[in-house]
Amino acid sequence: MVAAISEQIPTDLEPIFRSQPKLSPEERALVLRAYHYAAKAHEGVKRDGGEPYITHPVAVAQILADLRLDAPTLAAALLHDVVEDVEGIGIEDIERTFGAEVARLVDGVTKLEKLPTNTDAMKGGKAGNREAETLRKIFLSMNNDIRVVLIKLADRLHNMRTLGYVSPERQIRKARETLDIFAPLANRLGMWQMKWELEDLSFRYLNPEKYREIAAQLDIRRAEREQYLETVKARLIKEISAEGIPIVQISARPKHIYSIYRKMERKRVSFDQIYDIHALRVIVPEKGQCYQVLGVVHNIWRPIPGELDDYIGAPKNNFYQSLHTAVIDDQGKTIEVQIRTPEMHENAEYGIAAHWRYKEGTAHDKVFEERLRYLRRLIESAAEDVGADSDPQEFVKAMRSDVFQSRVYVFTPKGDVIDLPSGATPIDFAYHIHTDVGHRCRGARVNGIQVPLDYRLKSGDRVEIITGNKRAGPSLDWLNPSLGYVQTSRARHKIQAWFKRVGRENNIALGRNVVDRELRRLGLSAKPREEVAALFGYSKVDDFFAAVGYGDISAPNIATKVLEADRKAQREAAAATLTPNTEAHTRPVNVSDGIDIMGGSGMLITLGRCCNPVRGDPIVGYITRGKGVTVHRADCPNVINSLEPERFINVTWGSSVERAYPVPILITAYDREGLLRDIGAITANENVNIADLRVQVRNSIASIFLTIELENLDQLSRILAKIEMLPNVIEARRRVSV
Ligand code: MN
């Protein structure tokens, strides 16, 4: 019987059966039938590279066989393009011929392929919708049967391997999508091999020069590196054996081009500075022995402080387990060592796919079920927060922030562990505990010490939320992305929902406050609110306030729009009123389009002390006697009231941002200890200098006159907002002196 089957096996199926030798005769027969069915369906069709189409499903099945996936998955992989591409074959045909399980898998993959039609895309009207929709479908199918996603990943991997035959535009698009969606997905599923290969293949098309450069460098050093690693290996084998620990395997770890590139970028170093990092992997039978080997390694070579990671004691959330350390040998070379058991190694290589591998015991499978449940919970809660019929872009944003990112593990005061995406704040924590705790969150203590609400939680932190009274609500500032109060989509949506609920009247009042505060901060209090509303397309000012109150329009949005409009109006006004005079007037410079005050015009440029213009402000130049040009804000009273309009010229801020500009600000606060230190911390965080500082205290109210050196106005809005959030501060605004 077995012999009879093997006689019929086509040559291209042989490697598949070799990779997955544990299939029963019935299972082999299923795979074989799927192969013949697909070969017939795709008959006569060629791929872009010219080879018969069937080579593609076979290659996809091979990738999955290497992951040791089960027979229904392999059969579905062989059939995955049949329903999509072949006229006259429907999913009912697959179900009739191959049964419900295979049909369900094929149907899942086919549905993933079907992207939104033109009308759908037009409804959304956004370029990224297609990508968003793909990702959404993948996540939803992950919730049904994760094997569908594994087939899709294998399909993508083979398409990336054969990407050389398609048009350059398609190459870039596919590579981008792979790097953005499929590689992080493989990583999240713990499939490291797949992740590396997808990344390297994408990188090759997205940055071909860099890819070739690194590949060539790796090649040149290969012999040298391999020789060195052999010596290190021999030494390790000797020392580990001397301790009586059996070794399953010691091997050099392959280097991945994209990860080298990332490391070079991250550390801002050249290839030479990282090439001599040598990586070894030691596999020993038992967990306890992993720690013994660690001791041996640290005994032979000097460990680098801070480089020891115990992912056995505290596994990464994508199922990864291993000990990592880095040491320095006698010649000063860095050696990275990973230590793990065969089972941990299998998990690291195959990730979630290991669940379907044929194996003896079942204890292991329980662990995987547990982890799969965890992953599903993450996806479900993110999907729930966004809402079922929301914009696909929103969904993708939620997945990116809540599911793809690495996570931090923190404790409640009772000692329960809560995990949140890294970058999460006490507000995210509060909303995770309970929506009401979030709404009423007024402060937080981490490890017993009070922290600001934009504090980034770290693993191991013990977090305690300080709540206000029952009627307290969230602050609109929490929705302001530049303030960084909220990281999770859950918190964001709960806050938005709160503001939608509190009603229009309330929102109008809230919105008016935000608008007033923002304009005051920018020194533009006098600007009619109707004009500002019109900039956002609102004819009724109350509608505009309500939109701000709901959190649909944020304070920085307002600042940017208002300043842009001002600049434009100023440019037009200047062109209309000042240009006619320019011809008549003799000046030491030739001005047609305005002087770029940042560029080398050769003129002496001074910034007006009366109004202290900041980059981004509408400005005009004033020709002074013997002093070149003084630059004023366009609304400076000295300009408006000037009796000599012919001395004004157009000037622009130009493009260089190297020089900082002083902005005077005034902070009013109830005096307290440490206030100046807190303000200093904010400016230091923003990389902004303090040029001048003066403090007056009267009746315990402090007036702090501060001059900070800025590069642009976006920064100003953020810094003022942050200072205003400090305890005891009443107001922080730009000082517009006259
Ligand atoms: Mn395909």
Res 602 pLDDT > 60: no
Looking at residue 490, the DSSP 8-state letter turns out to be H
Q: What is the mean pLDDT of residues 261-265?
A: 84
| Nearest residue to 386 via CA among 406, 403, 372, 407 | 403
Q: What is the mean pLDDT of residues 495-507?
A: 82
Q: What is the per-residue pLDDT for 262?
A: 85
Quick one: average pLDDT of 547-576?
A: 74
Summarize the confidence of residues 374-396 as an average pLDDT: 65
User: Cα(122) to centroid of ligand 1, in Å?
Assistant: 26
Distance in angstroms (rounded) separating the CA atoms of residues 710 and 717: 11
Lowest mean pLDDT among 208-212, 332-336, 500-504: 500-504
DSSP string, 427-482: HHHHHHH-HHHHHTEEEEEETTEEE-TTPPP-TT-BEEEEE--TT----GGGG-GG
Average pLDDT of the chain is 79
Least confident of 314-328, 472-486, 492-506: 314-328
The β-bridge relationship of strands 595-596 and 278-283 is: unpaired
Reported as a pLDDT band with limits 50, 70 and 90, residue 738 is very low
- Please report the pLDDT score of residue 640 as a whole number: 77
pLDDT at 73 over 60: yes
Give the orientation angle of helix 192-206 with respect to helix 146-161, to 10 degrees: 40
Q: Say yes or no to pLDDT of 397 above 70.
A: no
Please indicate whether residue 566 or residue 51 has the higher confidence score (pLDDT): 51
From ligand 1's centre to the CA of 38, what distance in Å?
Answer: 12
Of 84 and 584, the one with more pLDDT: 84
Question: How many whole angstroms separate alpha carbon 246 and alpha carbon 286?
Answer: 9
Number of H helices, E strands in the chain: 31, 21
Quote the pLDDT of residue 341: 93
Please state the rounded mean pLDDT for residues 664-678: 87
Predicted local confidence at residue 674, as pLDDT: 83
Q: Order of strands across the sheet with 729-734? A: 689-698, 701-710, 661-670, 729-734
Confidence of residue 118 (pLDDT cuts 50, 70, 90): very low
User: Does residue 456 have a pLDDT over 70?
Assistant: yes
Q: How far is the CA of 393 from the centre of ligand 1 (A)?
A: 25
Give 126 or 289, the one with higher predicted confidence: 289
Distance from the CA of 96 to the center of ligand 1, in angstroms?
22
Classify burial at 359, counting beta carbons within 10 Å of its beta carbon; exposed 0-12, middle 13-18, buried 19 or more: middle
Strand partners, 335: 278, 327
CA 52 / ligand 1 centre spacing (Å):
13
Query: What one-letter code names the amino acid at 628?
Result: G
**Weakest mean pLDDT among 458-472, 542-556, 600-614:** 600-614
pLDDT class of 318 with cuts at 50, 70, 90: low
- pLDDT of 679-737, one tens digit each? 888 888 887 877 778 888 887 888 998 888 876 667 787 888 888 888 888 888 887 65
Percent of the chain topping pLDDT 70: 78
Residue 580 has pLDDT above 60, yes or no: no
Q: Rounded to whole angstroms, what are the CA distances from 20 to 11, 31, 61, 731?
A: 15, 11, 11, 70
List Cα–Cα distances, 693 to 26, 65, 248, 477, 690, in angstroms: 83, 69, 66, 27, 7
Residue 430 or residue 312, greater confidence: 430
Q: How far is the CA of 424 from the centre of ligand 1 (A)?
A: 38
The pTM (predicted TM-score) of the whole model is 0.56
Q: What is the 3-state secondary structure (H, E, C) of 355-396?
A: HHCCCCCCHHHHHHHHHHHHHHHHHHHHHHHHCCCCCHHHHH
Catalytic residues, by residue number, are 84-85
pLDDT in tens, 215-260: 888 887 778 888 888 899 999 999 999 999 999 999 887 678 898 8
Q: What percent of the chain has pLDDT over 90?
A: 24
Instruction: Give residue 595 CA to ligand 1 midpoint distance, Å.
Output: 58
Cα separation of 202 and 226, whole Å? 27
**Looking at residue 250, what is its pLDDT?**
92
Q: Is the pLDDT of residue 491 over 80?
A: yes
100-104, 375-379, 583-587: least confidently modelled range: 583-587
Kindly report the length of the chain: 738
Point out the least confidently predicted range of 49-53, 85-89, 396-400: 396-400
**Which among 81-85, 393-397, 551-555 has the top mean pLDDT?**
81-85
pLDDT computed for residue 590 by the predictor: 30
Q: Is the pLDDT of residue 609 over 60?
A: yes
Q: Write the pLDDT tens digit of every residue in 155-182.
A: 999 999 999 888 899 899 899 888 888 8
Rounded distance between C-alpha atoms, residue 13 and residue 38, angstroms: 13
Ligand 1 center to 49 CA (angstroms): 14
Residues 6+ positions from 370 with CB-CB distance below 8 Å: none
Per-residue pLDDT, 125: 41
For position 136, what pLDDT does the model report? 67
Q: Which domains, and CATH codes, for the chain?
A: 2-202 (1.10.3210.10), 214-355 (3.30.460.10), 405-500 (3.10.20.30), 502-553 (no CATH), 568-653 (no CATH), 661-734 (3.30.70.260)
pLDDT digits (tens, 9 = 90+) for 626-663: 667 788 888 887 777 777 777 777 777 654 434 456 77
Average pLDDT over residues 438-465: 88
At 518 the pLDDT is: 87
pLDDT of 159 reads 94
User: Quick one: pLDDT at residue 600?
Assistant: 45
Out of 279-293, 302-316, 567-581, least confident range: 567-581
Q: How far is the CA of 476 from the centre of ligand 1 (A)?
A: 47
Q: State in Å: Cα 39 to ligand 1 middle.
A: 14
